[in-house]
Structure 1
Amino acid sequence: MKRNFAVGLSALALAISGITVVAPSAGAAPAAVPTARAAAGCSNPLHTYQHYNYTGGWKQFCSSDNNLSNNEFNNGVRVNDRISSVKNLGHSCSWTLYQHSFQRGRATTFKPWSWDGNLGNNNIGDNKTSSLKKRCL
């Protein structure tokens, strides 16, 4: 009885503090629970991928970036001139990819809720992106 009471108080304390606890099913790995800060921190993101068809390393952008040379994919590879596919997961913002830093050179714009698994077949080209511009409606 004491054990159940203590577990109940712990769960109540966690609920009051806003922490979500997820118990995994037997044999399953625990699920990652995003924090409210992470979920609310990036609206209308652009997901970029190192290889065709959304594979390889990936990086999420939440705002414009004039120079991608200081960014890395989640696997440690530099982003600059290495983007091969993108997903614009926003519902009210477009993203433009530029060939050179500071939004210069060839460009391709992705309207809200659009994606391309092969940048080699459009104006920007494969492995050519050096800056990004986000424009919201």
Structure 2
Amino acid sequence: MVEYEKLKEKHQAMTLKLTSLESYLVKEDESFSVFQELGRMSKKYGIDYAKIVPEEVIGGQYYNRIPVRIHLFSTYHALGMLLSAMDKRGRMMGLWVDEIKMQGIRKGEQSLEEKEKYTVEVDLLLSLYQSKA
């Protein structure tokens, strides 16, 4: 009887953890809205995208992972604000940062307008985790 109770508790704990993890997955029909929200947040912080390239979907048994490469221009502060906002909305967005590559923009490499606006060029690799159910 004691063994049964232990197994029952373990099952309940695993079910609770599974439910928590599933809450991070985005439904297939919500994927586009995640990128719209990311665009709105980026605009709010004054970040400009040079290019957004979705890569091939990586299928899993229970979920799909969609890697997305983003090349953008920003300031260090604005990039930090965006990443912080993404982290705070983690469950709502379903986006995870896999890789960040940054380099400072040298004054000779910018147009006159960009000199005032941006201090960093960034390559991000994000993953969108999508529910199969």
Q: Fold-level match, TM-score > 0.5? A: no
Decide which structure has greater helix share: 2
The alignment's TM-score, normalised by the length of structure 2, stands at 0.29
The alignment's TM-score, normalised by the length of structure 1, stands at 0.28
